[in-house]
Structure 1
Amino acid sequence: MNDHKDSHGVSRRQFVTLSGTIGAAGLLAGAGAAGSAAATADPVYGEPLTGSCPTPPPPGGANPCPPAQLQALCGSPTDTDPLWRDVQSCTQGTPGPNCLHVTPNYVVLHGSPQNQQNYLLLPSCRIKGIECPFITTSAAANYWNDAWENARSGGSVPVQYPNIGLGINSQIARRFDQLHIHMAGVRPSTQRRLQELEMTGRMATQPSQWAASQYQVAVSGPPGAGDRTYRALRLPNLGQNLFTLLSRYVVVPNGLAMANQTLIVVPKMTAAGFAGTFYVLNSDPSLHDGTSTCDFLLVYR
């Protein structure tokens, strides 16, 4: 398997070696690759902001973790992935300065570049990524709602950006193998486009409609990157497990691979603030101009 390099020329093999000495938070990752099936590397989180205010753990403590028989797909607690090591450092013993928010179910870390609009939410369970079948079960924590509750205005680690975006990359697009939801910004043009699609009836309003061709829409990325095609769904809340909805209504009926999927959540915002609606976008290389990464729409700097 070929080593992958970041923008500073550090190979993945070198990164893992270095991370054992200086920690994953000390290295930066680059981004950028074009094409419908191309991937951009996940930003790696750096130093945290200070002043975060922990909240009490959820009633009943932590949700269950994937059982041992799923370790081949979901990972083993003895794995040495840098992000998983950092989750362990937050949840075992005294949390260090990189641990912005720690609960029994997840931790929040800073993203790179370090600023107030770029964070990561990671399960405290060992979960490699979107391909782990455990995350679609009723036993799994609702990580998307957790990410929103942290990223929103007044949340534990609020994203300081006019429009918020939450996203997860596919297995083929990500750099590290511990599930992480990006909590970042989205461009005003993305927010406008999604509201336009909602007004013109181009968004599914029921999860059962999500894969229908009329709800496959083009959304522009950064200038010069062109459009990408997404399956668009509007939801009134994040009370349902989005991984479950994706698997049940998109992946399984169409014979797709969960590992190839990307998910992006964009809360609807108006001049008055959050409008009580969430736009949920999904894409993969099976779509014309589809993509397996959320990085076309999220703004990290």
Structure 2
Amino acid sequence: MATGKLETDLVEMQSDKDNGVKRRDFIKLSGAAVTTGLTGLGVDEAVAGRRSTCNDGSATAWCEQKTFRPSLCGDTRDTDTLWQKAQGCVSAPDPSCRTVPGSNSDYVVVNGYVKGNDYLLLALCRVTGIECPMIWQSSAPNYWKGAWEGAKLNDPKNPVTLRSPFGFGINSRNARSYQQFHIHMAPLLRSPVNIMNQLARVHNDIGAKPEKWISTVITLEGREQTKTNPPTYENRVRPYRALWVHSLDENPFGLLYDWIAKPLGAQEKEDPADVMAFENLIVIPVAPPNTGFYLLNSDRKLKDATGKIPGIGSIDQLFYWGT
């Protein structure tokens, strides 16, 4: 699939003339029915020979090593548009399929919704998203480290040109529009709210102990689309669990599973894998002179300190999707 076709099919941009902020307005593609079968989340299923294999027939070891629940991880026969793009990056790669050094052919960086402004780290193995148990296994690719390295790609013929400051994020299952694993790589909001300034103000409140992550809740003001007709955009505060890590060497999905999904699953008497489906995860490089990365997580059940402000499964409100 050509780059321009992908960008046209994935989204049409909508502009709010009052504040100049452009945001994503997802559209459905004709002839691209999503058939991932995301049902039966509470029951382990017989795999019946299905495995999460890479699309070129030479699956990496982590893809082949174990069986999984198809309802959570998808099937290679699914027709999701981003899965088709991933297959194209293997069978007939074009310049939009940027290889990241050290990726072991597990993922590529492709153009996102506004060319030259945001990008997607796209898995080449059939993985639906954050709910797939394979991504938090110790043998899984470190997609977040891949996004960080991908943001530095400077091929003069096809560079990654992310405006700084930027971050990375993955939506919860219910907050996404496509069913192939992807991490958004996009600029953070600077106006009318500034995400980095807000994080700087609470930096000393964010600890580096993973066991404290679940109880370290901060609030950030972002920009959200209203449900009015026609929709507009408004500033809105949301709570996030926050952790400071010195590097991305340890898989952030593993940290999220161990220190958020497991305790929440124990509290709610649910399978932690099912809890993961409702979580989002955002990774933001810390501003100098400090170093490292913030790991932010939210879900609809999370509340702020007052108990009145709910969390959210989407990552969109912290990022700028305009030109």
**TM-score, normalised via structure 1 length:** 0.75
Find the residue that maps to 2:214 and give its secondary structure: coil
Q: Does 1:141 align with 2:141?
A: yes
Query: In the TM superposition, what is the alpha-carbon distance from 1:43 to its structure 2 partner?
Result: 9.0
How many angstroms apart in 2 are the aligned matches of 1:181 and 1:64?
19
Query: In the TM superposition, what is the alpha-carbon distance from 1:234 to its structure 2 partner?
Result: 0.5
Q: Note the alpha carbon deviations across 1:211-240, whole angstroms, 9 max, x for none.
A: 01xx11110102722111100111100011
**Which of 9, 16, 23 lines up with 1:27 in the alignment?**
9
Query: In the TM superposition, what is the alpha-carbon distance from 1:276 to its structure 2 partner?
Result: 2.6
2:96 paired residue number: 98
CA contact (8 A) 2:107 2:121 kept: yes
Q: Does 1:72 align with 2:71?
A: yes
1:112 paired residue number: 113
**Which of 228, 251, 257 lines up with 1:247 in the alignment?**
257
How many angstroms apart in 1 are the aligned matches of 2:12 and 2:6?
14
Measured at CA, do residues 42 and 118 of structure 1 come closer, stay the same or move farther in structure 2, by a change above 3 Å?
farther
Query: In the TM superposition, what is the alpha-carbon distance from 1:300 to its structure 2 partner?
Result: 2.1
2:171 paired residue number: 169
How many angstroms apart in 1 are the aligned matches of 2:160 and 2:93?
20
Find the residue that maps to 2:62 and give its secondary structure: coil
How many angstroms apart in 2 are the aligned matches of 1:203 and 1:266?
13
Query: In the TM superposition, what is the alpha-carbon distance from 1:41 to its structure 2 partner?
Result: 6.0
How many angstroms apart in 2 are the aligned matches of 1:280 and 1:129?
18
Query: In the TM superposition, what is the alpha-carbon distance from 1:64 to its structure 2 partner?
Result: 1.8
Query: In the TM superposition, what is the alpha-carbon distance from 1:24 to its structure 2 partner?
Result: 4.1
Matched AA of 2:62: P
2:150 paired residue number: 150
Count of equivalent residues: 249
How many angstroms apart in 2 are the aligned matches of 1:139 and 1:234?
23
2:315 paired residue number: 294
Within 5 Å, which residues of 2 pair with 1:1-301?
24-29=6-11, 62-65=60-63, 67-92=66-91, 94-101=92-99, 103=103, 104-114=105-115, 116-152=116-152, 157-188=159-190, 189-199=194-204, 202-212=205-215, 215-222=216-223, 224-255=234-265, 257-270=275-288, 275-288=290-303, 289-301=310-322
CA contact (8 A) 2:68 2:133 kept: no
Find the residue that maps to 1:27 and give its secondary structure: helix
Unaligned runs of 5+ in 2: 15-23, 29-58, 224-232, 266-271, 304-309
How many angstroms apart in 2 are the aligned matches of 1:179 and 1:69?
16
Find the residue that maps to 2:277 and give its secondary structure: helix
CA contact (8 A) 2:10 2:113 kept: yes
Q: Note the alpha carbon deviations across 1:101-156, whole angstroms, 9 max, x for none.
A: 36511011101122x23000011110000000111101110000000111147699
Unaligned runs of 5+ in 1: 1-18, 33-39, 45-60
CA contact (8 A) 1:168 1:294 kept: yes
Measured at CA, do residues 242 and 63 of structure 1 come closer, stay the same or move farther in structure 2, by a change above 3 Å?
farther
Measured at CA, do residues 133 and 278 of structure 1 come closer, stay the same or move farther in structure 2, by a change above 3 Å?
same
Find the residue that maps to 2:241 and give its secondary structure: strand
Q: Note the alpha carbon deviations across 1:263-293, whole angstroms, 9 max, x for none.
A: 11110123x7xx4310110000011220001
Measured at CA, do residues 63 and 206 of structure 1 come closer, stay the same or move farther in structure 2, by a change above 3 Å?
farther
How many angstroms apart in 1 are the aligned matches of 2:13 and 2:241?
24
Measured at CA, do residues 100 and 43 of structure 1 come closer, stay the same or move farther in structure 2, by a change above 3 Å?
farther
Measured at CA, do residues 69 and 153 of structure 1 come closer, stay the same or move farther in structure 2, by a change above 3 Å?
closer
Measured at CA, do residues 41 and 211 of structure 1 come closer, stay the same or move farther in structure 2, by a change above 3 Å?
farther
CA contact (8 A) 1:217 1:229 kept: yes
Query: In the TM superposition, what is the alpha-carbon distance from 1:254 to its structure 2 partner?
Result: 1.4
2:17 paired residue number: none
How many angstroms apart in 2 are the aligned matches of 1:233 and 1:27?
36
Structure showing greater Rg: 2
Matched AA of 1:226: R
Query: In the TM superposition, what is the alpha-carbon distance from 1:73 to its structure 2 partner?
Result: 1.5
How many angstroms apart in 1 are the aligned matches of 2:89 and 2:142?
20
1:13 paired residue number: none
Matched AA of 2:149: E
